[in-house]
């Protein structure tokens, strides 16, 4: 299958990958300007930018770019392998590596009333929705019909079960501290763009103290949004979902969350 056809399928599916394109080729090189390779998050690929050691290096760079979500331009001289060059063709090639993150993923932990409402709103907002709950009866299509993926695992095992990237937004609508405390350290080690924990200020302060006792650093805990959401005095699951998703969108769009009302 051609790279362009796979790119179209990637867009239709909402999944991610990395497009690698030769943008400059001087002298003798294995491939020339316009050659493309599509690298998937699991490391398999379609197309080619030259093969051999250079292509292996490009795949490694592509996977790293996918994790941090930032494009990069690579330059390779192919003259002297003894000095670290990836070939002996004699030319120089530049390759643009472009992460295609696909739809943002909202990963909801807790399939109760609030989690279900958040899933419904996130789906309407264009997110791919994943739900996790250690209770299988709360983690299936019948319980949360708006979700696309289901992970019925303990919170500490979630990073191993789900593919969490810089395009993942994690919302914890869990039952309480007995779930959060043992599970949060694993989530704090992921590259997720957002990690929010539902509950009162007191609940978070107590959770935070327990995590500090476990050895979790202050710097890592600063990445947690808790209490979760924008202040709306929300009460119903649907209102709480609006508050949560407003904060997620604020983070995703780099916004301030301030009112836009003219006060002149």
pLDDT, tens digit, for every residue of 215-243? 999 999 999 999 999 999 999 999 999 99
pLDDT of 153 strictly over 90: yes
pLDDT of 249 strictly over 90: yes
207 or 89, which is more confident: 207
Q: Please, are residues 92 and 29 in contact by the beta-carbon 8 Å criterion?
A: yes
For the range 4-13, what are the long-range contacts, defined as Cβ-Cβ under 8 Å and sequence gap of 24 or more? 4/36, 6/38, 6/46, 7/38, 7/100, 10/38, 10/100, 10/102, 11/102, 13/102
Of all residues in the chain, the percent with pLDDT exceeding 70 is: 95
Pairing of strands 92-100, 72-77: antiparallel
Q: Is the peptide bond before 227 cis (omega within 30 degrees of 0)?
A: yes
Query: What's the pLDDT at 192?
Result: 93
- pTM to 2 decimals? 0.77
Query: What's the pLDDT at 83?
Result: 53
Q: What is the mean pLDDT of residues 124-133?
A: 96
- The whole-angstrom separation of Cα 83 and Cα 45 is 28
Q: Please, are residues 217 and 223 in contact by the beta-carbon 8 Å criterion?
A: no
Query: What's the pLDDT at 148?
Result: 94
Of all residues in the chain, the percent with pLDDT exceeding 90 is: 67
Query: What's the pLDDT at 225?
Result: 97
Two structure tokens written together for 130: 């994943």
pLDDT of 88 strictly over 80: no
Lowest mean pLDDT among 8-12, 110-114, 144-148, 213-217: 8-12
Give residue-wise pLDDT tens across range 172-188: 999 889 999 999 999 99
CATH code matching the domain that covers 105-253, chosen among 3.30.420.40, 3.40.50.10210, 3.40.50.720, 3.40.50.620: 3.40.50.720
Pairing of strands 128-132, 105-109: parallel
Q: Which residue has the tokens 């050895």?
A: 215
Query: What's the pLDDT at 101?
Result: 82
Query: What's the pLDDT at 181?
Result: 94
Query: What's the pLDDT at 21?
Result: 94
CATH 3.40.50.720 domain span(s) along the chain:
105-253
């Amino acid at each position: 299958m051609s790279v362009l056809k796979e790119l179209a399928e990637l867009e239709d599916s909402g999944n991610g990958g990395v497009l690698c394109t030769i943008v400059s080729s001087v002298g003798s090189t294995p491939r020339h300007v316009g050659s493309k390779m599509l690298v998937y998050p699991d490391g398999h690929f379609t197309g080619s930018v030259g093969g051999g050691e250079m292509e292996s290096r490009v795949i490694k760079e592509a996977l790293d770019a996918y994790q941090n979500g930032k494009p990069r331009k690579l330059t390779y001289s192919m003259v002297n392998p003894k000095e670290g060059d990836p070939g002996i063709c004699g030319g120089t090639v530049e390759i643009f590596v472009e992460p295609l993150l696909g739809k943002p993923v909202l990963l909801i932990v807790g399939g109760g009333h609030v989690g279900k409402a958040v899933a419904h709103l996130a789906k309407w907002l264009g997110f791919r929705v994943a739900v996790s709950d250690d209770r299988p009866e709360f983690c299936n299509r019948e319980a949360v019909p708006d979700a696309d993926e289901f992970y019925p695992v303990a919170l500490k095992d979630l990073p191993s079960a789900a593919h969490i990237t810089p395009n993942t937004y994690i919302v914890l609508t869990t039952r309480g501290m007995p779930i959060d405390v043992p599970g949060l350290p694993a989530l704090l080690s992921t590259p997720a763009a957002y990690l929010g924990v539902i509950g009162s200020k007191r609940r978070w302060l107590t959770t935070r103290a327990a995590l500090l006792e476990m050895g979790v650093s202050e710097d890592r805990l600063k990445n947690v949004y808790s209490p979760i959401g924008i202040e709306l005095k929300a009460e119903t699951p649907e209102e709480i979902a609006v508050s949560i998703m407003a904060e997620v969108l604020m983070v995703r769009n780099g916004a301030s969350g301030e009112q836009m009302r003219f006060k002149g």
